[in-house]
Amino acid sequence: MPKLKTKSGVKKRFRLTAKGKVRHAQAGKRHGMIKRSNDQIRNLRGTAILSDADAKKVKKWMPYG
């Protein structure tokens, strides 16, 4: 069998946790911070866990985890 290729964009954007969940950076922090409230900016710090439906797709693109 040939090696499976990982999508390059997925390598850069997602990481797997030890239990196999998909971790991603919070969306909505690239620009336009002036119109967001300080509470919203604070809550968008760090990473979040992807929903199960989306994680299923992403795991298909990173076959070796």
Rounded Cα–Cα distance for residues 61 and 46 (Å): 23
In three-state secondary structure terms, 62 is coil
pLDDT of residue 40: 97
What are the pLDDT digits (tens) for 1-56? 899 999 999 999 999 999 999 999 999 999 999 999 999 999 999 999 999 999 99
Does the global pTM surpass 0.85? no
What are the pLDDT digits (tens) for 2-17? 999 999 999 999 999 9
Q: Measure Cα distances from 57 to 12, 45, 48 in Å.
A: 16, 24, 17
Range of the domain at 35: 8-61
Provide the 10 A C-beta neighbour count for residue 65.
8
In a domain, 1, yes or no: no
pLDDT of residue 1: 86
Cβ–Cβ < 8 Å for 14, 23: yes
In a domain, 3, yes or no: no
Instruction: Check which CATH number belongs to the domain holding 25 and give it.
Output: 4.10.410.60
In a domain, 2, yes or no: no
In a domain, 15, yes or no: yes
pLDDT of residue 65: 77
Domain count, the chain: 1
